[in-house]
Amino acid sequence: MICQTKKSVTERIWQPRVTDPALRQSELIQQMGLHPALVPVLAHRQLDSAQAVLDFLQPRLSHLDDPNMLLGMDRAVERVIIALEQRQPMAVFGDYDVDGATSSALLVRYFRALDVDVRVYIPDRLVEGYGPNATAMKRLASDGIKLVITVDCGIASFEALDVAAEAGMDVIVTDHHQLLDGCLPRAIAVINPNRPDDPFPHKELAGVGVAFYLAMAINRALRHRGWFDATNFPEPDLKQLLDLVAVGTISDVARLTGVNRILVASGLNMARQSKNIGLQALMQIAGISNSGPDLHLTPTQVGFQLGPRINAGGRLGVGLLGSELLFTEDGQRAEAIARQLDQSNRDRQEIEKKILQQALDMIETERMTEQWLGLVVASAEWHPGVVGIVASRLVERFHRPAVVIALDLASGEGKGSGRSVPGVNLLAAIEATSDHLLHFGGHRAAAGLSLRCDQLKAFAERFDQAIRQQNSADLFRPTLIVDGLLPLAYTDHTLAAQLQQLQPFGPGNPEPVFVIESVQVHHVQVIKGRHIRCQLIDHKGCRLDAISFSAVPGPVGETLLARNVTLDIAGTLGLNRYRQQDRLQLTIRDVRMA
């Protein structure tokens, strides 16, 4: 049993992910010859049959559900085919984040494979805001566009879509955000797995996943109509688009379960031989090997190296760059955009660092953590394109939901972005404050909003009240979720290999964290002034290499550097490739006294 009363050196309680005995999983482990340490891992994922385990460990594209199960798909495909047959001008209207950039680029690349050019419209985040707007719709109509396909947006754009219809344009909405009041906007078709009336079982699809399903449905319909034979044009290979699906899904922090697990696992594999020159250029500038069988692109690399760079253009006011990078066929243009996005990301980091420090000072000065479970901070000095990232940093620091708002005193309005902790439905809390807001929307974990500056205080009070009323206090206790005890003698290459089969890790499929009890730390080295490499040794003399990233300065580093102490270590087990050899290594997440 893992002790749940003793705090770690980072003031966290280690809480088991699974508390049941998991007898069925124990039987499966023996039956399938898997490592016994995987019992709680299978139990958490509710894998209770040999077939379920095999399907999870070997995700296959053949297991994807029929795209026509999505409501509105039939009508959308019919309208797209009319546009193709009549060569009607089409436009893709996307969001400026990574999900929107990958979604729009995916459809551009798909239609280009049909020898059809489509226009891409990404709104200016700072001027137009999120989603379709009336001015943009009028502009597209005046330019002769007959069909607009929205990606990763549109579900709440009632006024803009009314304008589009009155201007004679048809609109197909593809989105995955939650509906407000259950109402649908005016469109030829609304494809959204989160429609209350949609029986589609996979609600976790990101916007790019919905766009991919649309491409699948169009492709199949064209095949059945004999389009490719009639035009003597090769059928597009949809697998070539899966790298974009993986990047968008991971960056949108979607759950990596069910259909998303299949799409992301296949997409990361496709990245090894990706023909997307923009993605190759970005990987190269991010320091990721961008070709060949040795490339093993991970969700961590996508989330922390590729995603922020693609996002950077939209955050600082050049939203089209991320999408253009991913659909361009011009190598020089791809390299130029990659460099520009890399510089924009550096600029974004500097802006973020400044805003974060100001937010922390504000929270400390006003002693907000003593009064509020839902944190709300605002300033007229902050950049609206960066507030979402700052909100994420505040959540990491204080383990409670946070909303960060950039105020525009000239207009009297503020634009904010919020992030949440696991288990707390942020969108529900914000919806409870709707009387104080101009607009809002998003997910359980992330949301955006706008308000009048004079409503800030009332919003903050109502938001905190909603967070308290809707959630248990236990959700705000700093914890580290762990999967089980792991004796050093149980750590071997077989376990590491089987853990690797559980990838890709992410929301819904977290990387297993094990607790190794009562070990001493030897051969401690500080690497690059920040990281610690060491060796763990138990009382039986069993040894395991370990590393702790960014541990110095900090309580974890101080504890590992101390002499003659016996510790419990929580971490993730993997293989570290060094000089063409794979060595077992524990990546330390937390430390406590044994």
Region 514-532: mean pLDDT is 95
Q: 222-244 pLDDT, tens per residue?
A: 999 999 988 888 999 999 999 99
Whether 29 maps to a domain, the answer reads yes
Q: How far, rounded to the nearest angstrom, does the alpha carbon of residue 418 sit from its chain's CA centroid? A: 15
Domain span including residue 43 = 24-55
Q: Note whether 411 and 317 are same-domain residues.
A: no
- Do 338 and 189 reside in the same domain of the chain? yes
pLDDT above 60 (res 383): yes
| 7 part of a folded domain | no
**pLDDT over 80 (residue 467):** yes
Please report which confidence band the pLDDT of residue 312 belongs to, taking 50, 70 and 90 as the band edges. Answer: confident
pLDDT digits (tens, 9 = 90+) for 235-291: 999 999 999 999 999 999 899 999 999 999 999 999 888 889 999 999 999 988 755
Tell me if 350 is assigned to some domain: no
Look up the CATH number of the domain holding residue 332. Answer: 3.90.1640.30
User: Same structural domain for residues 496 and 468?
Assistant: no
Percentage of residues of the chain with pLDDT beyond 90? 80
Quick check: 121 pLDDT over 90? yes
Say if residues 189 and 79 touch (Cβ distance below 8 Å).
Answer: yes
Q: What are the structure tokens assigned to 227, written together?
A: 């389009």
Same domain? For 392 and 430 the reply is yes
Instruction: Convert the pLDDT of each residue in 399-423 to its tens digit.
Output: 999 999 999 999 999 999 999 998 8
pTM for the model stands at: 0.88
154 has a pLDDT exceeding 70: yes
Do 49 and 119 fall within a single domain? no
How many C-beta atoms lie closer than 10 Å to residue 288's C-beta?
A: 18
Please count the structural domains in the chain.
4
pLDDT digits (tens, 9 = 90+) for 56-78: 999 999 999 999 999 999 999 99
Same domain for 89 and 30?
no
Residue 2 lies in a domain: no
Statement to judge: residues 242 and 384 lie in one domain: no
Are 304 and 332 within one domain? yes
My answer on whether 264 and 182 are in the same domain is yes
Sign of the CA dihedral running 293, 299, 304, 310: positive
Of 446, 355, 451, nearest to 408 (Cα)? Answer: 451
- The helix (run of H) or strand (run of E) holding residue 533 is strand 531-537
* 395 and 335 in a common domain: no
How do 170-174 and 189-191 pair as beta strands? parallel
For the beta carbon of residue 118, count every other beta carbon within 10 angstroms.
21
- So what's the pLDDT on residue 104? 97
Asked if the structure places residue 356 within a domain, the reply is no
pLDDT, average across residues 519-546: 95
Question: 352 lies in a domain?
Answer: no
* Three-class DSSP category at 84: helix
Q: Do residues 416 and 375 make contact, with C-beta atoms less than 8 angstroms apart? A: no
More confident call, 97 vs 181: 97
Q: How many CB atoms lie within 10 A of CB 147?
A: 22
With vertex at residue 416, the alpha carbon angle to CA 414 and CA 421, rounded to the nearest 5 degrees, is 155
Spacing of C-alpha 581 from chain mean position? 32
* Average pLDDT of span 357-385: 94
Q: Report which residue type is found at 488.
A: L
Closest by Cα among 313, 311, 475 to 401: 475
Clarify whether residues 466 and 488 are in a common domain.
no
Instruction: Tell whether the model's pLDDT for residue 294 goes beyond 80.
Output: no
Beta strands, E only, 219-261 = none
